Amino acid sequence: MADPAPSRSVDSFSLHSTGQDSAIQVSEAAEQPVPVPADSQDHAAPQEPDNQPDYVSDSGFDSGSLLGDETDTLASSIMHYRMENGRQYHAYRDGAYWGPNDELAKEILDFAHHMYLLTLDHKLHLAPIKNPQRILDVGTGTGIWAIDMAADQYPSATVIGTDLSPIQPEWVPPNCMFEIDDVTLDWTFPPDHFDFIHIRELFGCVPDWDFFFEEAYNHTKPGGWIEIVEHSVQPTSDDGSQGPDHFFHLWGQTVIEMGQKFGKSFTIWNEAKERMEKAGFVDVTEITYKWPMNGWPEDKKLKNIGRWNQLRLHEGIEGFMIRLLTQVGGWSVPRAQVFLAEMRRELRNYKVHAYLPGTVVYGRKPLRSS
């Protein structure tokens, strides 16, 4: 088992700290076009109106589903998002997450979901679960994975997705539900509750991964499974085409440095197996994968994934980094935009055979937990 978690009374670095902690149900123009994957749709970034208010409200979230006292006030505070540099961010636990939650950000999240399906040969998970009845999707984002699990894969199961933002669709399968929650705090679910816990792309979101996996262990049923899917933020190459002075090195080092300053690391992709075993999970299995930075590979599958990754990064790089660079790193907006423009430029260089390594790690809670 993991060592006892440190006191939770002191938060890690937060851009805009708040006191709420309970679960609640619920540009630079491109120099040339980026190759769009053949199976993609026409995705246009939303335009910000000139009179964009400081805060905007999302009427798609049903505040009537919130439980407890002062529901209307709490719902209102959750729905009034923060605007920074023309991008919209979550209000609950304001500043705890580096990414925006606007329409473009949601589109980028769904791009990533499609890439994971391509990577895992259209499987939603690799853990050998059988007939699960309670499934938790931590950091559900747009809820697309949870909805697919509930509607197509396991219609007899109850699937719960948690996130800081109520950006999931209103109409979902009856066995799927979403809650606003910060799972970096004490989990509010019953112990020994879930048959399967799924985590994906929580890099830069968790201040204490040992505490996180300990909570996951405590809330997994004996015999149940947990799976975490993450990738590196440091591009690399196998053939030396990404030299030591290439911009991709500076990029990766900058992201990792910003995560360290933020108090939430971006290196969980190569730490998950060891941390899961430390928490007490057994039969822990690690499977590696590669996401090319663009369509340079000759392999058809990797080329397709790379073209999607190029599109995802080219269109989403501002959302990935602008808050970290300006709020955490203290960069000026012009300096940050120049840095992002250089990344977009390098994404078009097919001579550099760079990729992001990643891992899928899953493990089982023993039937007799110690």
Model confidence pLDDT, tens digit, residues 134-191 = 999 999 989 999 999 998 899 999 999 998 877 788 889 999 999 988 888 999 999 9
Distance between CA atoms of 188 and 180, rounded to whole angstroms? Answer: 12
Residue 283 scores a pLDDT above 90 = yes
**Segment among 22-31, 102-111, 321-330 with least mean pLDDT:** 22-31
Fold classification of 82-364 (topology level): Rossmann fold (3.40.50)
Range 10-14 average pLDDT: 37
Q: Which helix (H) or strand (E) holds 134?
A: strand 134-138
Range 7-33 average pLDDT: 38
Residue 276 scores a pLDDT above 80 = yes
Q: Give the number of other Cβ atoms within 10 Å of residue 284's Cβ.
A: 17
Distance between CA atoms of 156 and 178, rounded to whole angstroms? Answer: 17
Top-confidence range, 9-13, 20-24, 153-157: 153-157
Distance between CA atoms of 260 and 254, rounded to whole angstroms? Answer: 10
Range 81-109 average pLDDT: 68
291's CB contacts (< 8 A; 6+ apart) are 115, 119, 231, 305, 306, 309, 355, 356, 358
Residue 66 scores a pLDDT above 60 = no
Q: What pLDDT score does 19 carry?
A: 35
Distances (CA, A) of 199 to 34, 55, 122: 30, 30, 17
Name beta bridge partners: 134. Answer: 158
Q: What is the dihedral of CA 255, 94, 163, 127, to 10 degrees?
A: 30
Q: What pLDDT score does 337 carry?
A: 95
Q: What pLDDT score does 39 carry?
A: 57
Give the model confidence (pLDDT) of 211-225 as tens digits.
Answer: 999 999 999 999 999
Q: What is the dihedral of CA 207, 213, 218, 219, to 10 degrees?
A: 90
DSSP label at 201? S
- The domain spans of the chain are 82-364
Q: What pLDDT score does 57 carry?
A: 32
Residues of the chain above pLDDT 90, percent? 61
Range 4-12 average pLDDT: 37
Distances (CA, A) of 141 to 198, 300, 302, 304, 322: 12, 29, 25, 24, 19
Q: What pLDDT score does 323 carry?
A: 85
Give the model confidence (pLDDT) of 223-264 as tens digits.
Answer: 999 999 999 999 999 999 999 999 999 999 999 999 999 888
Distance between CA atoms of 87 and 99, rounded to whole angstroms? Answer: 9
Q: What pLDDT score does 277 carry?
A: 98
358's CB contacts (< 8 A; 6+ apart) are 119, 229, 230, 231, 232, 269, 288, 289, 290, 291
CA atoms lying within 13 Å on the CB side of residue 230: 25
C-alpha torsion sign, points 310, 316, 317, 320 = negative
SS3 73: helix
- CA proximity to 143, closest of 117, 163, 116, 115: 163
Q: What pLDDT score does 239 carry?
A: 96
- Are 59 and 117 spatial neighbours (Cβ–Cβ below 8 Å)? no
If one compares 184 and 294, the residue with the highest pLDDT of the two is 294
Residue found under tokens 């909805």 = 147
- CA proximity to 153, closest of 196, 124, 191: 124
DSSP 300-332: HHHHHHHHHHHHHHHHHHHHHHHHIIIIIS---
Q: What pLDDT score does 282 carry?
A: 98
